[in-house]
Chains A and B, each alone.
Chain A
Amino acid sequence: MSATFTDHQAALRDEVKKLLTDGSIKGFIGYARGRDSYHPVPAIVTRPDQVDGLILDQFSIFGLTKYLLDYIFEDGKMGIVVKGCDALGLGRLINDHRVDRNKVHVVGLPCAGVLNGEKVAKLGLGKVQRVTDKGSAFLVEGDKGSKELPKTEYLWDKCLWCENHNPAGADTLLGSEVENVAMKPRDFSDITALEKMPSAERAAFWTRQFSRCIRCYACRNVCPACNCRECVFDIADPRWVGNTVKLSEQQMFHFTRAFHVAGRCVDCGECERVCPMEIPLMKLQRKLQKDVIELFGNPKPFVPSEVEVLGQFRVTEDPEEFM
């Protein structure tokens, strides 16, 4: 039983107000209320009088780190609130030399799991008044009713196998660290099932997924690992990399996007969450994770390191299949 995000809301506001007033940051990236209690949205405040618009609640899933790229050429520090998973994304941006750690004030938010707002919204509990952590469940009290929601059913998938509940290296930590144990082991059984499918069926499966893609690039824009200054798919005349909306080029896009972050993906699951067409993008990322773990003996490829898996090699230990 740990404090919920809402318990930290007042502390967050105080901290941001202090930082903005004494001029140590010029803006803060956090959350504000969205269309209902279940869908908080990213918000950026720059003045102390805006701070009361910042909220924290148990539905704050959105990874905010990618917004830091909007400020890399400006002077001054930005503040940001990060959960454990977002801290990995921030680590990714820092290790890729895209964000200067000295220009970020990191407010860490220890996290016992984020409730899936999409699922909870369907329960008809109305406007949420209070969320309490009951250990294995969250008690959500709304104005139209309250319900105890088991964590294994109502958290986002990634929270279940999360091993990074506490953001590492934060400048300010809200509250105290929570118990850092995964609720269940990382599970690749859905990937294995796809691998076992006959290749024609698998091709049909992916055709069904990729043919829905509308090339909105939300998956790319939200991804902390997909952080090139100029993306190959944004070039006006990309020559041999097509960027029109047809199946073969959707396949090329998804192959490229997934492979460009192979061994660098931090497993935050944001690509899949933001996809308006509900393409199971993490099934691509997790296949690559699984292979990296198996092939290169790197048990945690999603934790950013200085040199990533495809930027290094081992002469004798790497598998040899191409003789």
Chain B
Amino acid sequence: MSVNEKAAPAAGPATNPTTATPAPEGWEPKIIGFACNWCTYAGADLAGTSRIQYPPNIRVIRVPCSGRINPQFVVRAFQRGADGVLVAGCHPGDCHYSTGNYFARRRYLLAKRFIEYLGVEPERLQVRWISGSEGQKFADTVRELTEKLRALGPQRRLRETL
């Protein structure tokens, strides 16, 4: 153990922002959903026009392609108060730009494991392929994620601190 290591604050509830504290009264999980314009966004739209109910906890951000979703966006969402993040795009083979989601798939296979490795609960980041005709799948995914997050409580491990 180095000098620097000793100088660091010991892990403990008092100094550690990662310790679970009970959710405040009336807390609702906040989800940032990155949805690709061509499939998932259309899928979310279909859920709406088909009058399929899903929890209002998700805030959808439309992006051109799942290949556009920089993993830094995910970390940033967590920093700024998201309790969960959904990354969603076209099924492999269906990408509007032919290959964007294949790159995204490799990137998120690594990024998801890496974010977990840094100590974020695995349930908080969901990656899903949701096509334009899968309004029901979109609704189910959001509902499932909301329920998981409700059980987990607020996300504090990557949240912005002073």
Contacts and interface: CB of A to CB of B under 8 A. Distances in A.
Contacts of B120: 199, 203
B48 to A, nearest CB: 23
A309 B119 CA distance: 24
Which of B7, B103, B119 counts the most A-chain CB atoms under 10 A from its CB? B119
Interface string A282-323: 001001100110011000000000000111110100111111
B151 interface: no
A252 B72 contact: yes
A104 interface: no
Given A200-B18, A202-B118, A310 B103 contact: yes
B70 to A, nearest CB: 9
A247 B19 contact: no
B108 interface: yes
B150 interface: no
Q: Is the interface of A mostly helix, strand, loop or mixed?
A: helix
A246 B119 contact: no
A310 B19 contact: no
A188 interface: no
B106 interface: yes
Contact of B110 (A206, A241, A295): A295
A2 B88 CA distance: 56
Contacts of B122: 199
Contact of A310 (B2, B17, B107, B158): B107
Contacts of B79: 248-249, 251-252
B106 A207 contact: no
Interface residues of B, number: 49
A161 interface: no
Contacts of B14: none
A322 B2 CA distance: 41
Contacts of A315: 92-93, 102
Given A206-B119, A248-B160, A259-B71, A278 B111 contact: no
Interface in B52-100: 71-72, 75-76, 79, 91-93, 99
A248 B93 CA distance: 37
Contacts of A209: 8
| Residue of A194, A203, A278 ringed by the most chain B CB atoms within 10 A | A203
A310 B71 CA distance: 13
Contacts of B72: 241, 252, 255-256, 259
Interface string A187-213: 000000011000111111111110110
A149 interface: no
Contacts of B121: 199
A240 B92 contact: no
A-B CB proximity, top 10 nearest: A203-B119, A313-B102, A203-B18, A204-B11, A202-B119, A248-B160, A322-B127, A278-B2, A278-B4, A203-B157
Point out which of A209, A263, A320, A322 has the most chain B C-beta atoms below 10 A from its C-beta.
Answer: A322
A276 B4 CA distance: 9
Given A199-B116, A278-B5, A296 B18 contact: no
Interface in B116-136: 116-122, 127-129
